[in-house]
Chains A and B, each alone.
Chain A
């Protein structure tokens, strides 16, 4: 079973700062990683598909990179609406998928 981990668990940052979130797989998953944002009381929102493809209507400040076992979600300049929880998801075991434990981005 492929294990997905994320770091840090919490990232404290100020509006306008750059945020870098990491996702690691216990073995190579190619590019089968997606990133989601979730706010309290809301369903997750797909940000990035196939490690680096921005989903529809996602702002340009969100970007994804990586392949194999190491992946990164970068928010180039944090906006107030970006303070939320972020999950990476491995979808290589179609139709199943597994989430990482998440990173909470909060206001410093």
Chain B
């Protein structure tokens, strides 16, 4: 069982971005996948989760409208339409809640 995340990104404010989390080794459709943000030197924040079978998606109020969570065959995505410097962070995907299976994280740097 694995969650493999896409590589680090360096972007400019206002740019769009889509990062991914590819699942393998288990039934992808029947487990929630959540996204967690960790800003530099800070704690962990749940952003939202998706149930791939029907794409039911729940967002934290803090992130509603700021990001979009999507799912495709064996892969979930976290998407921004317009990045801000404050989106600089490491983003983790995690299966279920509480989850024992985590991706290794994707570092996103947003800087002009």
Interface residues of A (CB under 8 A from B): 34, 36, 38, 42-46, 49, 55-56, 87, 89, 91, 94-102
Contact = CB atoms under 8 A, between A and B. Distances in A.
A99 B34 contact: no
A43 B97 contact: no
Contacts of B105: 43
Contacts of B45: 99
A95 B100 contact: no
B97 A96 contact: yes
Interface in B54-112: 58, 60, 92, 96-100, 102-105
Nearest to A46: B100
Interface residues of B, number: 21
Interface of B: 32, 34, 43-46, 48-49, 51, 58, 60, 92, 96-100, 102-105
Main secondary structure of the interface of A (DSSP, over half): loop
A98 B43 CA distance: 11
A4 to B, nearest CB: 10
B78 to A, nearest CB: 15
Contacts of A43: 92, 102-105
Contacts of B97: 91, 94-97
16 contacts: A36-B44, A43-B104, A43-B105, A44-B92, A45-B102, A46-B98, A46-B99, A49-B98, A56-B100, A91-B98, A95-B32, A96-B97, A97-B34, A97-B98, A98-B46, A100-B43
